[in-house]
Amino acid sequence: MARKVVNRKELRAQADAAEARGKTKSASKEKAPKVAKEKKAKEPKKVAAKKPARKKVAKEARMKAYWGVFNSGMKRLALFEYADKKAAEKKVQELVGSSRVHHFVQLVKEAISE
């Protein structure tokens, strides 16, 4: 949409005319508002105190360790308890012997759901 063009010269002329009309009034009426404006300008501005931001407490998730048997594509084939590492390595040897594809054991941590 088109906006109306503001003519700055006309606005300035109107402001000057209004100012000239204001000077014809008594000087005492004119001085009182200026003093009030000056007092307001001299007062220091009050700044609101910042509220301390609350930090969110991270909820600790309990984790449990397992041994996982993975193929070369990082697909988990089996999962063993942490104490059964020998069983996990035995499973890797069986898979490597039967398919001749690389398999490995890796530590896996999973969250305990309560």
* Number of domains, the chain: 2
In a domain, 2, yes or no: no
In a domain, 70, yes or no: yes
In a domain, 67, yes or no: yes
Residues 70 and 107 in one domain: yes
In a domain, 102, yes or no: yes
Residue range of the domain that includes 22: 9-40
Query: Tell me: the pLDDT tens digits for 49-64?
Result: 888 888 888 888 899 9
Q: Read off the pTM.
A: 0.47
**CB contact burial 61-77 (16+ within 10 A = b; e otherwise):** eeeeebbbbbeeeeeee
In a domain, 18, yes or no: yes
**Considering the chain, what is the average pLDDT of its residues?**
83
| Alpha-carbon distances of 33 from 6, 27, 29, 30, 83, rounded to whole Å | 30, 11, 7, 6, 86
